[in-house]
Amino acid sequence: MKPAFGRVALVGRYQSEGIGETLLAIVDFLIERGIEVLVETDTAETVNANGFSRASITEIGERADLAIALGGDGTMLGLARAIAHYQVPLVGINHGRLGFVTDIPLDQWRSALGQILDGGYTSEDRSMLIARVMRGDEEVWHHVAMNDVVVSRSSRAGMIELQVHVDDTYMYNQRADGLIVATPTGSTAYALSANGPILHPRLAGVVMVPVAPQALSNRPIALPDDARIRIRVVEGREPRVAGDMQVFSDLQIGDDILVERAPYKAHFLHPSGYSYFSTLRSKLNWHELPILSRP
């Protein structure tokens, strides 16, 4: 019987020590199942094996039936940003630390991947953001984000002042270290460390979270996912904008950062039995009882 995923691509965090051995094992596993294997060009440099073709990220998006990210959450985020618009399903195997979106543990990849290839999986769509920086009438930066868009001060400067409009309606001016606009996926990343709420991935919304605001009454707020957000840099030295805390651009006073929902979503596959709440329990240690101090 023809496999559901006849051509599978592998993208690994090739800088990681020991990743080559796992990559080779996955390549052999796929080939034994009669699956054509594509290995991302830079990832392929780390391994020496026969039976697979090297492919650029663009070629993976155009040709693959399934893409596997082997690494940490950063690897999965980068892959999602690059190929989500091709609607290629994504699977994450955790070869990093936390693993919120690379949800398959490294020691379970064989059984989990086998289950997915046999059709035993659940699928999940994750919303994404598009951010643009406008300097007058000129677009000077454009980026897709899976987790969040962050406008912040330089680590060497004081607070910045930002003016925020939502759907062309004035919201507020605030002085803070920064402002985070996060998807439900990104609500468990930087936004969570800034005391933002956790949004379930199926929730159609975004969360806007101030970072160390001067006014303590300035709190996180959840917005509809079709909201159009405009953040203007009013004052501050060395402001900058970041997408997923991986791609950065310097800003100038008067720049407008426009953030809105991307017209496509990332398509994640999980082994059958996957539970978002199980991930939260594991990664946030919800299963541990509090330690009570003794008198």
Question: Does 256 map to a domain?
Answer: yes
Question: Does 288 map to a domain?
Answer: no
Same domain, 225 and 104: no
> Which is the catalytic residue, given 65, 73, 107, 226?
73
Question: Does 101 map to a domain?
Answer: yes
Phi and psi torsions of 27, nearest 5°: -60, -50
Number of domains in the chain: 2
Residue 173 has pLDDT above 90, yes or no: yes
Same domain, 179 and 204: yes
CATH number of the domain bearing residue 100: 3.40.50.10330
Which strand ranges, in their side-by-side order, compose the sheet holding 229-235? 138-145, 129-135, 256-261, 229-235, 160-166, 169-176
Residue 289 has pLDDT above 90, yes or no: no
Residue 1 has pLDDT above 50, yes or no: no
Question: Does 291 map to a domain?
Answer: no
Question: Does 290 map to a domain?
Answer: no
The mean pLDDT value of the chain amounts to: 91
Residue 156 has pLDDT above 50, yes or no: yes
CATH number of the domain bearing residue 146: 2.60.200.30
Phi and psi torsions of 57, nearest 5°: -60, -40
Token reading at 277: 């709440």
Question: Does 194 map to a domain?
Answer: yes
pLDDT per residue over 135-146, tens digit each? 999 999 999 999
Least confidently predicted of 91-100, 231-240, 254-263: 91-100
Has 73 been annotated as catalytic?
Answer: yes
Q: Which domain holds residue 195?
A: 129-261
Same domain, 177 and 103: no
